[in-house]
Amino acid sequence: MKKYILPVLALALLTGCGKVSEVKDTDRPINIVSGTVEGTTKDISTTDTEADDDTVSGTTTDKAGNKVSGTTTTTSAGSKKSAVTRANGGSGGVYGTTRAVPVAPKSNNTKKTTTTAAPATTQPATQSPKFDPKDCSSISFGYSNSTPNKIDVSRQYSDGQARSYQVLSADTAEIQKAIEKDSSKTINDFVIKNDYDFDGYPDIFIIEKPDDLNKTGKYYHYDPESGNYQAWAELNSIHLELARNAAEDLLITVEKKDDIEYEEKAYYWNEKNQLSLRSYTHKYKAGDTILIEYVGYDNSGAETFRETRDENGNLVGGNTGNQAQGE
């Protein structure tokens, strides 16, 4: 019995070689979308195929009888859905079509496009507002507690707007105290306008020490050419408030020592525009007698006379006439 079994098995094996497995339910040729051919040395790219509905997996062989493994996608008859193919770029995860798109070569004859800017529209120049430096009627002064030792100067411009155009320096410590003590006071109570050089334009004296006996401060001369105030060295050397005697073109200072004693000086502007002393008056008390001393000077500054009188006007000790002091 055993001698018949081996020939039967050999016959069965010979009969099965080269047989192709059948795939049911397909009326079209089988398209191999992706896979790897065994036994070849070429690399074949892998494509993952996604079917909307019917996907049949199987194994087939090529003409040489070599076995091909992979995924065979078929679409059943009557189905209107098509397979969607997704390209797999490996670990990079690149998705898109499976067909390479050629890149157009760059042309060396590419013309450069030059864009010409449109010419700018010229706007008419706007004239800056100005002021007339010879018009002092709109000048005003300001002061801020947050900026001590500064006096702000403003005036009206040609466009009708008032603007700050200059800042003056002065010791404002006492001014601040006086304003805080009396809320009715403003900086204008401490800025005295007066024409101290008789040129027709108002200069200013800023009161820095408004004490009970004397007012001392800083002088600024008005320049009618620029419209600015300029620090005035000659009058600042006097530092006392000056009163103007327009009838004689004199500037007068009175420095009080106490309730009785004082010194009065009268100044004038000489031909060289220098401030010169015209007269000196000193009232004081000698014992129980109150005396007043008078001294006069000529245009060269030389003393022309000296005399002393009591408070009733009586001459005391004679008159030196035109003799100079000390002679």
Per-residue pLDDT of the chain (327 residues; tens, 9 = 90+): 445 445 444 444 444 444 444 444 444 554 444 444 344 343 433 334 343 444 334 444 444 444 444 444 444 444 444 444 444 444 444 434 444 545 555 545 545 555 555 555 565 567 799 999 999 999 999 988 788 899 999 999 999 999 999 999 999 999 999 999 998 999 999 999 999 999 999 999 999 998 778 999 999 999 999 999 999 999 999 999 999 999 999 999 999 999 999 999 999 999 999 999 999 999 999 999 999 999 999 999 999 999 999 999 999 987 777 644 444
Q: Flag whether 287 is in a domain.
A: yes
pLDDT for the residue numbered 106:
54
Residues 227 and 266 in one domain: no
Query: Could you tell me if 305 and 319 are in contact, meaning their C-beta atoms sit under 8 angstroms apart?
Result: yes
Q: 207 with 253, same domain?
A: no
Question: Are both 213 and 259 inside the same structural domain?
Answer: no
In a domain? residue 143: yes
**Are both 220 and 248 inside the same structural domain?**
no
Q: Are residues 157 and 251 in the same domain?
A: no
Which residues are CB-neighbours of 317 under 8 A, at least 6 positions away? 308
User: Domain range for residue 136?
Assistant: 127-239
Beta-carbon-side half-sphere exposure of residue 216 (alpha carbons within 13 Å): 11
Residue with tokens 């603007």: 163
Q: What is the largest CA-CA distance in the chain?
A: 186
286: left (phi over 0), alpha (psi -120 to 50) or beta: beta
Residue 153 covered by a domain: yes
Q: What residues does 187 pair with on adjacent strands?
A: none
220 in the same domain as 204: yes
Residues 200 and 267 in one domain: no
Q: Is residue 298 included in any domain, yes or no? A: yes
Whether residue 9 is contained in a domain is answered as no
To the nearest 10°, the Cα dihedral for 313, 316, 318, 321? -50
Concatenated DSSP letters for 275-323? Answer: EEEEEEEEEEEETTEEEEEEEEE-TTS-EEEEEEEETT--EEEEE-TTP
Q: What pLDDT does residue 146 have?
A: 81
Mind listing the pLDDT tens digit for each residue in 146-194? 888 999 999 999 999 999 999 999 999 999 999 999 989 999 999 999 9
Domain count within the chain: 2
pLDDT of residue 304: 96
Looking at residue 93, its pLDDT comes to 40
- For residue 225, give the amino acid letter: E
CB 41 within 8 A of CB 80: no
* Same domain flag for 177 and 257: no
Structure tokens at 78: 């009557």
Q: What is the DSSP string of 150-191?
A: EEEEEEE-TTS-EEEEEEEE---HHHHHHHHH-TT--GGGSE
Q: Which of 188, 212, 239 is the last residue of a domain?
A: 239
Same domain, 137 and 223: yes
Q: Which of 239, 264, 282 is the last residue of a domain?
A: 239
Same domain for 228 and 147: yes
Rounded to the nearest 5°, which phi and psi values hold at 6?
-60, -45
* 95 belongs to a structural domain: no
**pTM, full prediction:** 0.60
β-pairing verdict for 229-231 and 242-245 = unpaired
Last residue of one domain, picked from the residues 180, 206, 239:
239
Asked whether residue 132 is domain-assigned, the answer is yes
Residue 164: inside a domain, yes or no?
yes
203 & 274 share domain: no
pLDDT of the residue at 320 = 76
Asked if 104 and 69 count as a contact pair (C-beta separation under 8 A), the reply is no
Query: DSSP letter string over 48-105?
Result: EEE-SS------EE-TTS-EEEEEEE---TT-----EEEE--GGG---S-SSPPPPPP
Residues 176 and 228 in one domain: yes
